Structure 1
Amino acid sequence: MTAGEETDHRRRPRRRGAALDEAIFQAVLDELAEVGYARLTMEGVAERARAGKASLYRRWPTRIELVMDAVYSRLPDPSAPPDTGSLRGDLLALLRGNAEALAGPAGEALRGLLSEALAGSDAIARVRRNWQGASLRITREILRRAVDRGEIDASAVTDRRLETGHALLRYHFLFHGPPIPEHVITEIVDEVLLPLFRSPPRPPPTDPGTAGG
């Protein structure tokens, strides 16, 4: 591509809305796969997508926000969690899907985002809320159905327990890398999650100052 072709907006394809978003998101994922998060730039994404750099910055002021929107566009719909008919089957399907995502651009993005978080990026708080929110919504719906089927008691579903499976999966990914073996997913479900959700939460400790009062 010549300098004139790069700067002449008339030579770019006229795309708007969903078509433009798709081209940009695919460019982000291709850049992640080819150069990694550390070397990904807004300029590189714009050139690959054949889009204007200014239009990217208007919609995504930071690289973090652009990358996360691109990754989310390829993740499973949080409103349609796995439904295998059993809690164990649902949890296995959920973690397998997450493990597969971590083996691709989502995993590369996660590693990069952690480095941004350690550097104190202002945008990381929104990213953290979005990342955890989608995972928790899917897990909560899986557990709601398990409660309706009588597999577990509703009191066993707490916010802290909801985070456990995803936290263990991410821990293994970050320290051992992809792909996450099937036996690790099965062990997380059978040795941690099922016993956890089949046991009632412990009552809060009694304040010694109020005991007997």
Structure 2
Amino acid sequence: MPERRRGAALEKALLDAAWEVLTDTGYARFTVDAVVKRAGTSPPVLYRRWSDRDDLVRAAVLHTLKESRLDVPDTGSLREDVLTLMREINSTRVQLITVVQTHLADYHRETGTSPAELRDPLVTGRAEALDVLFGRAVDRGEVAPELLTERIKSLPFDLLRHEILTTFAPVPDHTLEEIVDTIFLPLVR
């Protein structure tokens, strides 16, 4: 008989199962029963943690975004740090970005939420990562700190996400360089 999971291990198993069901079936056919079956547990175990299907979907998406957070590069230049991070996102996260956007349209419509609420960098831990990356650039004198608004810091990554969602494919490297060199860097220097 398998060992009984508890606490964080059980929660991770439930959230991983929820993400798998969501990516396999989409939000419209996402059910708590399917998650319980895939996780090998019971409905009361799940409902003690999340009150309903939508709470579970939100938790599964945020869990997956936190788990998929990338390391912050430190190449010695802002341009290369941003490009390195964008290239890593581009090569490893296209499916994640596509699933989050396409499978959750009904979720957003039904719950009255926006996609930005599930990508909140404060919730997913991405804000701290970007603060480190941009803090190094400020310390090196590459950027003026007063120009680094939250919108400007997220701009290259927002444009990357937009490019991915218009093609559902990785973005050519010359486009990443164009985003950084002609749009982003002129705004922070």
**Short-chain TM bin:** 0.7 to 0.9
Contact 1:68–1:127 (8 Å) recurs in 2: no
Partner of residue 42 from structure 1, selected from 19, 24, 32: 32
The 1:190–1:45 alpha-carbon spacing in structure 2 relative to 1, beyond 3 Å, is same
The 1:105–1:29 alpha-carbon spacing in structure 2 relative to 1, beyond 3 Å, is farther
Give the superposed CA RMSD. 2.8
Q: CA deviation at 1:108?
A: 0.6
Q: Give the corresponding residue for 2:170.
A: 179
Contact 1:37–1:108 (8 Å) recurs in 2: no
Residue identity over aligned pairs, in percent, reads 32
Contact 2:62–2:118 (8 Å) recurs in 1: no
- Answer with 1 or 2: which has the greater Rg: 1
Partner of residue 131 from structure 1, selected from 111, 117, 120: 120
Q: CA deviation at 1:81?
A: 2.3
Q: Give the corresponding residue for 1:69.
A: 62
Q: Give the corresponding residue for 1:201.
A: none
**Counterpart Cα distance in 1 of 2:176 and 2:96:** 20
Q: CA deviation at 1:130?
A: 5.5
Contact 1:92–1:185 (8 Å) recurs in 2: yes
Q: Give the corresponding residue for 2:148.
A: 157
Q: Give the corresponding residue for 2:111.
A: 121
Deviation per CA, 1:99-122: give whole Å up to 9, x if none: 3454234531232334432x1515
Q: Give the corresponding residue for 1:30.
A: 20
**Counterpart Cα distance in 2 of 1:182 and 1:39:** 36
The 1:195–1:82 alpha-carbon spacing in structure 2 relative to 1, beyond 3 Å, is same
Equivalent residue of 1:163, what SS? helix
Contact 2:26–2:104 (8 Å) recurs in 1: no
Equivalent residue of 2:159, what SS? helix
Contact 1:37–1:112 (8 Å) recurs in 2: yes
In the alignment, structure 1 residue 91 sits paired with structure 2 residue 82: yes
Q: Give the corresponding residue for 2:188.
A: 197
Moved more, 53-62 or 86-95: 53-62
**Counterpart Cα distance in 1 of 2:147 and 2:23:** 40
- Give the unaligned 5+ runs of structure 1: 1-10, 199-213
**Counterpart Cα distance in 2 of 1:37 and 1:120:** 10
Equivalent residue of 2:107, what SS? helix
What letter is aligned with 2:174? H
Contact 1:136–1:162 (8 Å) recurs in 2: no
The 1:159–1:102 alpha-carbon spacing in structure 2 relative to 1, beyond 3 Å, is same
Q: Give the corresponding residue for 1:211.
A: none
Q: TM-score, normalised by structure 1?
A: 0.72
